[in-house]
Amino acid sequence: MSRSSANGVTVIFVLGGPGSGKGTQCKKIAKHYGFSHLSVGDLLRVEMESGSADSAMIKNMQKEGKLVPSDIVVKLLQRAIQENGNNKFLIDGFPRNEENLSAYDAVIKIEPKFVLYLECSEDVMIQRALNRNQGREDDQIETIKKRVKLFFESTLPMIEYFGTKGKLCKVNGEKSVEEVFEEIKGIFSSHEISKS
């Protein structure tokens, strides 16, 4: 039995390419529905700045647009969930590939209620990431292109896998922020998740 049904913890995976709006929408969902937003990219950035043994490796992987080994990512995620008093989590930017999902299933084991996918074209992703202006070292054109390529090669097949399991909820991420959020509210309502 999944832990979600065993102890009432709700997890939603939020996926999409770089710049598709995951962070933007997660902040709105968190505020509206009382979820805790765990951005795996942000957890890695915090770990990188902590000066831990993995700092240099994480910095290098992010700069190169590559994925950090799943055991490290899942440990950070597990700690973030355990330290948080909430029982409702949006996991943003995870799982990115099959290895991520296997490590999650082995350690955290909370079946996601559904997977929210923000679909965007490559051109829109690239323009948004380039214009983001948040000082991210990986928001420069060469790295963005690598991240987009990795998304199509490794993450999209995962997203399609969730579709075969009946877990996938896709929204048009190219609409305005408010229009995307309206679509998301419809999805939450159909899963009987109400405003906190």
Ligand X SMILES: Nc1ncnc2c1ncn2[C@@H]1O[C@H](COP(=O)(O)OP(=O)(O)OP(=O)(O)O)[C@@H](O)[C@H]1O
Ligand Y SMILES: Nc1ccn([C@@H]2O[C@H](COP(=O)(O)O)[C@@H](O)[C@H]2O)c(=O)n1
Q: Is 31 annotated as a binding residue?
A: no
Of 103, 116, 110, nearest to 8 by C-alpha is: 110
Return the residue of 2, 23, 87, 183 that touches Mg ion, per CB under 5 A: 23
- Residue 23 or residue 69: which is nearer to Mg ion going by CB? 23
SS (H, E, C) 16-39: ECCCCCHHHHHHHHHHHHCCEEEE
Per CB under 6 A, contacts with ligand Y among 77-106 are: 93-94, 96, 100
CA atoms of 121 and 119, how far apart (whole Å): 7
CA atoms of 111 and 114, how far apart (whole Å): 9
The secondary structure of the chain in percent helix, strand, coil, rounded to multiples of 5, reads 55, 15, 30
How many H-runs (helices) and E-runs (strands) does the chain carry? 10, 5
How, if at all, do strands 88-92 and 10-16 pair? parallel
Query: Quick check: 155 binds ligand Y (CB under 6 A)?
Result: no
Query: Quick check: 176 binds ligand X (CB under 6 A)?
Result: yes
CA atoms of 173 and 14, how far apart (whole Å): 12
Q: Is 150 annotated as a binding residue?
A: no
- Residue 16 or residue 112: which is nearer to ligand X going by CB? 16
Query: Quick check: 61 binds ligand Y (CB under 6 A)?
Result: yes
Return the residue of 23, 34, 69, 163 that touches ligand X, per CB under 6 A: 23
- Residue 22 or residue 113: which is nearer to ligand X going by CB? 22
Query: Quick check: 21 binds ligand Y (CB under 6 A)?
Result: no
Residues paired with residue 103 on neighbouring β-strands, in sequence order: none
Minimum distance from residue 106 beta carbon to ligand Y (Å): 15
Query: Quick check: 184 binds ligand Y (CB under 6 A)?
Result: no
Other beta carbons within 10 angstroms of residue 89's beta carbon come to 22
Question: Residue 129 binds which entry of Mg ion, ligand X, ligand Y, none, with Cβ cut-offs from 5 to 8 Å by kind?
Answer: ligand X
Return the residue of 9, 10, 11, 18 that touches ligand Y, per CB under 6 A: 18
- Residues near ligand Y (CB under 6 A) are 18, 39-41, 44, 61-62, 65-68, 73, 93-94, 96, 100, 138, 147
- Residues near ligand X (CB under 6 A) are 16, 18-24, 41, 93, 128-129, 132, 176-177, 180
